């Protein structure tokens, strides 16, 4: 196992007959980090997660979690992983505290420590006021929180969360993100999600999976840069200036590194799109030139380099494997 990694996956494969749901994937999740696991529906995310949580064995390859092999040391892995499955299936007839106590006993928490652990996770997941409520009467958001509380119950070193913010309202989503950010350092988190903004805000690294293969992995910034690099003709700087459009166009076109300037809209406030080497120096130069000429700079933004665009591009069935899929 590589030192400093809590999840190590090597050539992991899952085949259903001739269909390869997961096709020789390899990745690592560093200790104490939050890693986003992204992919479109049917990409192999849940299958990979199920293999990592020992729900199903791999067809070939190896994976270790918290230093234990998922196939040969399943019980050690299971006692060190907090897992939130998709849709958080729970016994609806039980009450919140009762369910968590039941789960705690199954996870081997000492009777003396059980009550304090239940209270602690309930506080962390904002369930304090619902302790006596039957689960069947809880909203989906509360059930999701209960699933997260269950995953945190035995304070496991590794957390694997499958769509933890599904069904939550915007405030709860923000709070869950904050909670996940707080968990970094104490726990290693593998977060499967479709919500790209969530990944950008909470994850230190991102793994993108598609058609059973790892398509890209790196930090969100690295992926955005890769998107800009692959998409050099597509990445544009949109500048909105209060000033004469033609003069602004000429001024921008004369700048070093600028290949092409196009007027998007004319009027008292004009909008122009700039192609070329769109680095920080160019943006600074544009800002200072606009001010020097007595025009007003209203907006400057880069398009074509967001994680979302990269995700769409990379998971497109016609896309080729980029260099970041190391």
In the complex with another protein, the residue whose CB is nearer, 67 or 85, is 85
Q: How far is the CB of 256 from another protein (least distance, A)?
A: 57
Token digits of residue 246: 């033609």
Among 30, 32, 67, 85, contact with another protein (rule: CB under 8 A): 85
- State the maximum Cα–Cα separation within the chain, in Å, rounded to a whole number: 77
In the complex with another protein, the residue whose CB is nearer, 4 or 91, is 91
> What is the C-alpha to C-alpha distance for residues 57 and 257, in angstroms, rounded to an integer?
53
Q: How far is the CB of 141 from another protein (least distance, A)?
A: 18
Q: Which runs of consecutive H residues, i.e. helices, occur in 189-244? A: 196-202, 220-230
Residues binding another protein: number (CB under 8 A): 26
- Residues sharing a CB contact under 8 Å with residue 8, sequence separation 6 or more, in sequence order: 1, 2, 28, 29, 63, 64
In the complex with another protein, the residue whose CB is nearer, 55 or 126, is 55
* Binding to another protein, residues 86-115 (CB under 8 A): 86-87, 89-91, 93-94, 102-103, 105-108
Share in percent of the chain as helix, strand, coil (round to 5): 35, 30, 30
Strands of 126-268 (E only): list them.
Answer: 158-162, 188-193, 205-210, 213-218, 236-242, 258-265
Contacts with another protein, 53-82, as mask; x by CB under 8 A: xxxxx-----------------x--xx-x-
- Residues sharing a CB contact under 8 Å with residue 221, sequence separation 6 or more, in sequence order: none
* Binding to another protein, residues 169-208 (CB under 8 A): none
> What is the C-alpha to C-alpha distance for residues 110 and 144, in angstroms, rounded to an integer?
25
Q: How far is the CB of 156 from another protein (least distance, A)?
A: 10
* Binding to another protein, residues 127-166 (CB under 8 A): 150
In the complex with another protein, the residue whose CB is nearer, 156 or 276, is 156
The residue ranges that bind another protein (CB under 8 A) are 50, 53-57, 75, 78-79, 81, 83, 85-87, 89-91, 93-94, 102-103, 105-108, 150
């Amino acid at each position: 196992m590589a030192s400093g990694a809590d999840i190590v996956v090597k050539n992991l494969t899952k085949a259903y007959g001739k269909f390869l749901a997961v096709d020789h994937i390899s990745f690592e999740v560093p200790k104490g980090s939050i890693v986003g696991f992204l992919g479109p529906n049917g990409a192999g995310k849940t299958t990979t997660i199920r293999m990592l949580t020992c729900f199903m064995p791999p067809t070939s390859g190896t994976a270790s979690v918290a230093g234990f092999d998922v196939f040969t040391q399943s019980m050690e892995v299971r006692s060190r992983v907090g897992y939130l499955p998709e849709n958080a299936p729970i016994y609806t007839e039980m009450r919140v505290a009762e369910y968590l106590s039941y789960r705690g006993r199954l996870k081997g928490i000492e009777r003396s420590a059980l009550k304090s652990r239940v209270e602690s996770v309930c506080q962390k997941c904002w369930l304090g006021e619902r302790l006596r409520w039957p689960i069947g009467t809880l909203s989906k958001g509360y059930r999701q929180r209960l699933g997260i509380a269950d995953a945190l119950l035995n304070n496991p070193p590794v957390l694997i969360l499958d769509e933890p913010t599904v069904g939550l309202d915007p405030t709860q989503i923000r709070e869950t993100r904050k909670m996940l950010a707080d968990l970094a350092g104490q726990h290693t988190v593998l977060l499967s999600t479709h919500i790209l903004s969530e990944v950008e805000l909470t994850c230190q690294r991102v793994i993108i999976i598609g058609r059973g293969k790892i398509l890209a992995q790196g930090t969100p910034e690295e992926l955005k840069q890769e998107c800009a690099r692959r998409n050099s003709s597509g990445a544009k700087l949109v500048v909105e200036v209060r000033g004469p459009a033609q003069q602004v166009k000429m001024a921008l076109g004369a700048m070093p590194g600028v290949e092409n300037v196009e007027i998007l809209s004319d009027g008292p406030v004009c909008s122009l799109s700039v192609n070329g080497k769109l680095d920080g120096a160019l943006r600074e130069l544009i800002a200072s030139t606009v001010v020097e000429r007595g025009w007003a700079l209203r907006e400057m933004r880069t398009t074509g380099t967001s994680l979302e665009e990269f995700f769409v591009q990379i998971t497109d069935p016609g896309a080729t494997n980029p260099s970041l899929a190391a």
